[in-house]
Chain A
């Protein structure tokens, strides 16, 4: 790996430090470590293996020359609300008590980072390694006032928790939302994390979430990304699963000029299970880059990944799926599949499975396919009186359905279906 020294990181630090809030929920050791890492390693260019197709240094240089951090207040989020869910609202990276629902649900604890007790503070940065990635370091140094959401032991929530990240600027800004989601033993919850950018200016969102799935707990999570052309984001999810725990995530990306997802899951104990599903639909000059890591550390765990992408115009889609099976992780089952459709000759898909297996009794497989829309099927539909556009829609809908059907929250599923069809 090449450690390239660049001034982009320094420029960002200079531009955002003056207006950044006090990050007193992260200890000084970590803060200085983060700044040091940024200064030494900088923002990755495409020479960095993990950012080969996603030159963030270039993006900052080109699209964020005039960061002024003039962020807009947000007072109305009603149109984003889902009917049957609890809403937590984060504005420009900071937890908004006024816009969020009052949580008086038994067994559910929500604390803004500014109110964290000692125990809570210890969790911040406990699994996201500052020295593993520049964006973890950047978020650590300038984290917004995020929140710690805890589902107590044995509590099983039926109502989805909708976490809405709204950002707004009229010029150029960087926001650093951050959270901790913790499920105690035997707890169950469904969370929907949705990102939107409103306002006239470009916002770079550097999101970081640390998720702890306790013993025999089940976290079903949805990531819904529809930021529009002003949205640029790097989203890091660092997940750790305890014995018999289960983590499911479905990430739907429908818009955003740049969307980079780093989804890192550590199967840290025996008999746990993780599923990552993704669907993206990109057009114009969009770049959607999904990087996943399934780190099998212990025996008898199972992981499954299904990512599907549709790229049109000059857009670029990336899927890089790394599976580690460590030497103790015998009887691992790990599967991965990436399927893509190219709708134009100028669109690109880069897909790379990366399997590193150090145990000898495992079942691992991966598959990838990239192709154009099936012209034989289009002709068959045409021959029945269905026009080319409708035929294409039917086929793309069919392609996407396998992932959309993973969404178990009906309201979200309908919303996604509707928006997906509009985007085609």
Chain B
């Protein structure tokens, strides 16, 4: 589905990603863990197309296309979804209107007709239930005045509506209580199938109790320093990041 080869990215003069290699196939769930400042969010931002970052080396092939050549909106239209760590509040734009525009622009890109209003509303109703999102929130302005948990659930709701091929969840668990965490995870698990894939970026093992990964990668100082199965997350939880830091300190300076 996506192949990342030797990806380097900088912000200003500072190189943050120093050669990421990653291959994700349909049907897989990958977790990317790592201490603060290791480059987790930079990786998700670069993949989504945030302009603040400059890719200096490497390539990313997404479903046969050169992802880095595509605009952020075309990446989304090709089936890439980023659940934001900090969802943006957009006063005055209703959630529903926003999603309708998104759904129809993606359909137009694929040469499909606009979704009939009736079908759209039925879809909204169905997906809202999935993340236990209050119907009232759908009519409010995008994320405006939402609690932290509501914002994260809204991200998963949008993901459910857009049905992406590859979803990157950027620290979706941060700031969530255990109930919200369960709701988010239930949503993700319900959407998981053989055709799509998920990248779960997280600090803690906690979320991975609910969304069980096939692969766990440890990102440290801009590189994936270790990969393994789900047991790697447990090991990391037990030992803490200090162990990793010690182990790789000399190599990555």
Q: Using a CB–CB distance below 8 Å, which chain A residues touch chain B?
A: 374, 376-377, 379-388, 390, 394-395, 397-399, 401-402
Q: How far is the CA of A174 from the CA of B124 in the complex (A)?
A: 56
Question: Which residue from B50, B75, B105 sits with its C-beta under 8 Å from A386?
Answer: B105
Does A402 contact B90, Cβ atoms closer than 8 Å? Answer: no
Interface flag for B148 (CB, 8 Å): no
Known: A382-B76, A383-B49, A385-B162. 20 other contacts (CB 8 A): A374-B90, A377-B88, A379-B50, A379-B51, A379-B88, A381-B101, A382-B49, A382-B71, A383-B75, A384-B76, A384-B99, A385-B73, A385-B76, A385-B109, A386-B105, A387-B73, A388-B73, A390-B101, A395-B92, A397-B92
Q: A390-B105, A398-B93, A402-B92 are in contact. Are A380 and B87 (CB under 8 A)?
A: yes
Question: Which residue from A380, A382, A386, A399 sits with its C-beta under 8 Å from B92?
Answer: A399
Interface flag for B18 (CB, 8 Å): no
Interface flag for B137 (CB, 8 Å): no
Q: Using a CB–CB distance below 8 Å, which chain B residues touch chain A?
A: 48-51, 71-73, 75-77, 81-82, 84, 87-88, 90-93, 97-99, 101-102, 105-106, 109, 141-142, 158, 162
Question: Which residue from A377, A384, A395, A398 sits with its C-beta under 8 Å from B102?
Answer: A384
Does A387 contact B82, Cβ atoms closer than 8 Å? Answer: no
Q: Shortest distance in angstroms between A278's beta carbon and chain B's nearest beta carbon?
A: 17
Q: Shortest distance in angstroms between B122's beta carbon and chain A's nearest beta carbon?
A: 20
Does A398 contact B91, Cβ atoms closer than 8 Å? Answer: yes
Q: Give the residue name and chain of the B residue nearest to A376 (CB).
A: B88
Q: A379-B50, A382-B76, A385-B77 are in contact. Are A394 and B101 (CB under 8 A)?
A: yes
Does B90 contact A398, Cβ atoms closer than 8 Å? Answer: yes
Does A382 contact B73, Cβ atoms closer than 8 Å? Answer: yes
Question: What is the total of A-B residue contacts with beta carbons within 8 Å?
Answer: 76
Residues of B near A397 (CB, < 8 A) are 92-93
Q: A376-B88, A377-B88 are in contact. Are A385 and B93 (CB under 8 A)?
A: no
Q: A385-B102, A385-B105, A394-B98 are in contact. Are A380 and B84 (CB under 8 A)?
A: yes
Does B76 contact A394, Cβ atoms closer than 8 Å? Answer: no
Q: How far is the CA of A397 from the CA of B141 in the complex (A)?
A: 13
Q: A394-B93, A398-B93 are in contact. Are A386 and B101 (CB under 8 A)?
A: yes
Pick the most buried of A380, A383, A385: most chain B CB atoms within 10 A of its CB.
A385
Residues of A near B162 (CB, < 8 A) are 384-385
Question: Which residue from A382, A385, A395, A399 sits with its C-beta under 8 Å from B106?
Answer: A385
Residues of B near A385 (CB, < 8 A) are 73, 76-77, 102, 105-106, 109, 162
Pick the most buried of B48, B105, B109: most chain A CB atoms within 10 A of its CB.
B105
Does A383 contact B91, Cβ atoms closer than 8 Å? Answer: no
Q: How far is the CA of A401 from the CA of B92 in the complex (A)?
A: 7
Residues of A near B71 (CB, < 8 A) are 382, 387-388
Q: A386-B101, A386-B105 are in contact. Are A380 and B93 (CB under 8 A)?
A: no
Q: How far is the CA of A382 from the CA of B105 in the complex (A)?
A: 10
Residues of A near B91 (CB, < 8 A) are 398
Q: A390-B101, A394-B97 are in contact. Are A383 and B72 (CB under 8 A)?
A: yes
Q: How far is the CA of A387 from the CA of B102 in the complex (A)?
A: 9
Pick the most buried of A377, A397, A399: most chain B CB atoms within 10 A of its CB.
A377
Residues of B near A401 (CB, < 8 A) are 92
